[in-house]
Amino acid sequence: MRIFDPHIHMTSRTTDDYEAMYAAGVRALVEPAFWLGQPRTSPASFFDYFDSLLGWEPFRAAQHGIAHHCTIALNPKEANDPRCTPVLDALPRYLVKDSVVAVGEIGYDSMTPAEDHALAAQLQLAADHGLPALVHTPHRDKAAGLKRTLDVLRESDLPPDRVVLDHLNETTVGDATDSGCWLGFSIYPDTKMDPERMVRILRVHGTERVLVNSAADWGRSDPLKTRHVGEAMLAAGFSDDEVDQVLWRNPVAFYGQSGRLTLDIADPGALHEGNSILRGGE
């Protein structure tokens, strides 16, 4: 089973996770820029984070045989802090980078005017840079948040087939499907979706345009949830080909729209057994 996790925050994960992911079949992932749990207080803090998504984290991933791409954006939560909004002005120099395959995570958190502005501005940046967009749907008041998201999307220059709506569930999958966007589902131990509910949605909605991710981060989450969905699909009678479509071909097709997805894993070269991480910290 080959797996492409289209949404996972490896900055928050350990080398044990990378090893377990590789053993489970993960060969590629996309790490969206997001909130780090501790609020940032200046644009420079974002820039170091973005640089890490373009430098150190792909290097770590390559040592474990996993191709790493990222999405770059000002996340909706911090779009509300005027100390952070100058990040929007610096995004163009990041959105030209080779391993940036989408603008994201963008979307709504508390549905404020500042979030309206950041979402619309960043959808325009995606259109201007030939990139798709990863749009987070809010955790609170999700159904209303999705409707407002779709209103902004309709007014944007970005066509729906270049947008994935993420963190969907049973209450939002219908409207999301009707929008023509790609459908993202995050599988969590406690919240969001679980593998069995995911299988039920796949039975009803089919496997087209569906992305399944672990969205693993610094919270209680599990980077192997993608694999668990694959196993639950097989147990429910889905074919190997359908599992491959959901867990590999769909994310490749979605992020491939950037023209920047490179899935030939670079030889980690000098780094047998992850030496520079294990003992490089002089």
132 near another protein, judged by CB under 8 A = no
Do you find a cis peptide bond into 57, omega within 30 degrees of 0?
A: no
In the complex with another protein, the residue whose CB is nearer, 101 or 168, is: 101
Which residues, 6 or more positions from 42, have their beta carbon under 8 angstroms from its beta carbon? 83, 84
Name which position in 56, 89, 178, 191 contacts another protein (CB under 8 A): 56
168-176, 201-209, 227-235, 270-278 -> range binding another protein (CB under 8 A): 270-278
112-116, long-range: CB < 8 A, 24+ apart: 112/80, 114/79, 114/80, 114/85, 115/76, 115/79, 115/80, 116/152
- Minimum separation from the CB atom of position 103 to another protein (A): 16
44 near another protein, judged by CB under 8 A = no
Tokens of 216: 């693993």
97 near another protein, judged by CB under 8 A = yes
260 near another protein, judged by CB under 8 A = yes
In the complex with another protein, the residue whose CB is nearer, 191 or 262, is: 262
Tokens of 5: 């996790």
In the complex with another protein, the residue whose CB is nearer, 99 or 250, is: 99
CA dihedral 159, 162, 164, 170 (to 10 degrees): 50
Tokens of 62: 């390559």
Q: Which helix (H) or strand (E) holds 43?
A: helix 43-54
Tokens of 96: 């030209």
- Minimum separation from the CB atom of position 246 to another protein (A): 22
In the complex with another protein, the residue whose CB is nearer, 101 or 202, is: 101
Name which position in 37, 82, 237, 259 contacts another protein (CB under 8 A): 259
Name which position in 14, 19, 55, 89 contacts another protein (CB under 8 A): 55
Strand order in the sheet with 67-72: 3-5, 26-32, 67-72, 100-107, 133-136, 163-166, 182-186, 210-213
271 near another protein, judged by CB under 8 A = yes
Burial class of residue 27, CB neighbours in 10 A (0-12, 13-18, 19+): middle
275 near another protein, judged by CB under 8 A = yes
- Minimum separation from the CB atom of position 270 to another protein (A): 4
98 near another protein, judged by CB under 8 A = yes
In the complex with another protein, the residue whose CB is nearer, 23 or 96, is: 96
In the complex with another protein, the residue whose CB is nearer, 241 or 264, is: 264
Number of residues that bind another protein (CB under 8 A): 29
Name which position in 3, 8, 54, 84 contacts another protein (CB under 8 A): 54
d(CA 150, CA 112) in angstroms, rounded, equals 15
Tokens of 68: 């790493």
User: Which residues inside 99-118 make contact with another protein, applying CB under 8 A?
Assistant: 99
Task: Look at the alpha carbons of 162, 241, 260, 213 in this order and tell me if their dihedral is positive or negative.
Answer: positive
Could you give the 3-state DSSP secondary structure of residue 154? helix
42 near another protein, judged by CB under 8 A = no
130 near another protein, judged by CB under 8 A = no
Q: By CB under 8 A, name the binding residues for another protein.
A: 51, 54-56, 58-59, 93, 96-99, 259-260, 262, 264, 266-272, 275-277, 279-282
